[in-house]
C-alpha cells in the first residue's frame, strides 16, 4: 500500500514536470553563483546591541530603554544588562527582610535584576515584607495585560507565587506566605507556605 502511494507520487511529479518544463529546473543564475563559490545568502543576522553602560541621567535612561526595545527586548524587560536597576533602592526594598529575599531570589536565577530573568519573572518589580514571615511581590502594571495574565501559557499568579516561594524556602525558613500583586490592578493572590 505504501509502495503504491510512493509510485503514484513519483508518477505525479513526472507528469507535472513533463507538462511544465520549468517545474524541476534549477535557476541558472543561482547555480552558477553557487558553483563559483559566491554565497547566495546575505550572511548571519547581527542583533542590535543592548545598552550595557550604567545610566546616570533621565535622558540616558530613556535612550537606553528605546535602544533595547528597538533591539527586540520586551518593554517590561528592556534592562537585560541591569544598567538602570539599582538593588540598593531603599524606597523599593524598605526592609532588610525584603532586601534579603530579593537578593536570594535574584541569586537563584544568577541575575543582577529582574529584567535579566526570563518571562514571566521579568515582570517582578519589588519585594516587600508586609509582616513577620510574609512577603509581597509587586508585578509591573503590564502584567495585567495579555503580556502575562492574558497569555494562555502563563500558569497564573498562584503558580508564580509558589515558584518564588520555592526559590526562597531553603534560605528563609521563617517565610510563611507569599502574596503576588499587580501594580494599579485589583489582581492579588496569596499562597501559604507549609
| Confidence band for 177, pLDDT divided at 50, 70 and 90 | very high
Section 112-125 average pLDDT? 81
Section 100-106 average pLDDT? 89
Pick the closest to residue 14 from 2, 5, 23, 1 (CA basis): 23
User: Does residue 173 have a cis peptide bond before it, meaning omega lies within 30 degrees of 0?
Assistant: no
- 13 CA to centre of own chain: 45
b/e code 32-68 from CB counts within 10 Å (16+ = b): eeeeeeeeeeeeeeeeeebbeeebeeeeeeeebbeeb
pLDDT at 120 over 60: yes
Alpha carbons 66 and 132: distance in angstroms, whole number: 40
**What's the pLDDT score for residue 46?**
46
Share of the chain above pLDDT 90, in %: 6
Amino acid at each position: 500500500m505504501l509502495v503504491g502511494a510512493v509510485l503514484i507520487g513519483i508518477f505525479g511529479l513526472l507528469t507535472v514536470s513533463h507538462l511544465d518544463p520549468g517545474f524541476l529546473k534549477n535557476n541558472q543564475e543561482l547555480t552558477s553563483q553557487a558553483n563559483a563559490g559566491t554565497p547566495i545568502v546575505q550572511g548571519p543576522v547581527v542583533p542590535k546591541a543592548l545598552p550595557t553602560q550604567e545610566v546616570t541621567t533621565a535622558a540616558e535612561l530613556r535612550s537606553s530603554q528605546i535602544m533595547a526595545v528597538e533591539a527586540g527586548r520586551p518593554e517590561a524587560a528592556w534592562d537585560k544588562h541591569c544598567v538602570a536597576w539599582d538593588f540598593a533602592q531603599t524606597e523599593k526594598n524598605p526592609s532588610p527582610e525584603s532586601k534579603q529575599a530579593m537578593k536570594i531570589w535574584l541569586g537563584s536565577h544568577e541575575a543582577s535584576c529582574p529584567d535579566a530573568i526570563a518571562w514571566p519573572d521579568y515582570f517582578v518589580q519589588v519585594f516587600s515584607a508586609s509582616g513577620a514571615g510574609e512577603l509581597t511581590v509587586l508585578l509591573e502594571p503590564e502584567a495585567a495585560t495579555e503580556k502575562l495574565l492574558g497569555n494562555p501559557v502563563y500558569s497564573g499568579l498562584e503558580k508564580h507565587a509558589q515558584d518564588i516561594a520555592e526559590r526562597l524556602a531553603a534560605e528563609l525558613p521563617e517565610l510563611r506566605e507569599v502574596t503576588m500583586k499587580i501594580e494599579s490592578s485589583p489582581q492579588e493572590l496569596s499562597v501559604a507556605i507549609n
